[in-house]
Amino acid sequence: MNKLLVALGLAATVALVGCKKEPAPETGATTGEHLENAADQAGHDIATATENAASDTATAVDNAADATSQAADNAAAHAENAAHDAKEAAKDATAAAAQAVETGAANVKEKAQQ
């Protein structure tokens, strides 16, 4: 925005210094016409800068939304995998505990029979 104001100030200065109140032979424009043209150009520049900023902002928001969605999907997949791994570990631990109980009971039964 500051650059735009500086450019507008320079354009106005050039228009005031470079043009006489009477039409100049090279352009035929008066100082007022130069100022009007500079103002029109500044208006177009502001509109273009605004459109570009809006487009860049929309793109950034879209990219952030996509990244957030991807991160959520990854987190859900990792959580699902962790839950599956925990379930399998619990099954393995239960099976090992059951095997240990059966082995212990078999040892006790064998010693009791002797």
- pLDDT tens-digit map of 10-68: 666 665 555 555 555 566 667 788 888 888 898 899 999 999 999 999 999 999 999 99
Cα atoms in the Cβ-side hemisphere of radius 13 Å centred on 30: 4
Q: What letter does residue 18 receive in the DSSP assignment? A: H
Sign of CA dihedral 42, 45, 49, 54: positive
User: How much is the pLDDT for 58?
Assistant: 93
Strand runs labelled E in 67-106: none
Residue with tokens 């064998």: 110
In the chain, where are the structural domains located?
Answer: 2-113
**Which element (helix H / strand E) includes 63?**
helix 31-113
Using alpha carbons, select from 43, 21, 42 the residue that is nearest to residue 31. Answer: 21
